[in-house]
Chains A and B, each alone.
Chain A
């Protein structure tokens, strides 16, 4: 201990230091998001071991995630055994819509959270009949920001945006598109009414993520749905 000017004093007086505790600095590198990633990896391995493919569907509120999943499910349910995990803050409205397609659905209500995380998906997988499935769609909470930070353990990410959200959705939320395999630009039947050119949105996506397939869709006319299915490059079932 460097007593400086007090050294003379220390020679004459017994110095007792406090034993309550001392202050230490600990240098380390603890990744805060690691726990979610670890759980996501567990989910991924679990799905792989059961031979189940999982697609994480993300996009803002009202972009048409549920409608697109419904269209895809109705085209694929003859060839794949499908289930849907529905993430919402509250209600079972979306799960009810998809259950009407005759596929098992699990509703995950996040309560106060604005995104699904790997732990919630782990719990949802516990109540999903994985042994009798080939394919799971996970519809994330409507939000283009928060879900980007929380991988769930899915094989692929499908991002849905729509022309009704305006011409700048991609530019404003670049991070969401970086890890997507397929981007659907939805509601193209409304493009001229909105004065939005969907090809510009498509060009924005390509610049940001050259590997993603970007597809113009309309759940009302059925345009582009088959291309989205091709873009997902699902494994064929024997």
Chain B
């Protein structure tokens, strides 16, 4: 249940972003979480909901985009993507040796855990152009 600590970092990061932008309310948050991270998205959503209560995040919508695991061979360039639909991934061993040249593969994607977009309410300050207004 390390999702609680990750949700805590998420909430702290969002409050920091809100402070920098002088936002009074965060309405929606978009996250990108790699499939190679051992993060249960349901637990993350639940923790987020609990932790956001009583803050300016309360009631915000959390959208999580999952990114597939991706390995590449640093020697011959062979690349392999773990099928995004393969829910059994965590029950099968990824083979970390290149099938073409037997070099150790490097993980190039699927290990991210980043905030990519935040929708928030910011009191108007017409003289400043801080951010793009939403459509």
- Which residues of A are interface residues toward B (Cβ below 8 A)? 19-33, 35-36, 112-115, 117, 145-146, 148-150, 170-172, 174-175, 178, 204, 207-211
Contacts and interface: CB of A to CB of B under 8 A. Distances in A.
A210 B123 contact: no
A175 B36 CA distance: 8
Interface in B75-120: 90-97, 104, 107, 112-120
Contact of B122 (A21, A32, A149): A21
Contact of A24 (B13, B91, B95, B119): B119
Given A33-B6, A170-B93, A22 B124 contact: yes
B120 A113 contact: no
B19 interface: no
Given A30-B115, A145-B38, A178 B96 contact: yes
Interface of B: 1-2, 4-6, 9-10, 13, 17, 21, 23-25, 27, 31, 36-39, 90-97, 104, 107, 112-124, 130-134
Nearest to A28: B115
Contacts, number: 126
Contacts of A36: 9
A112 B92 CA distance: 30
Contact of B2 (A23, A146, A175, A210): A146
Nearest to B20: A26
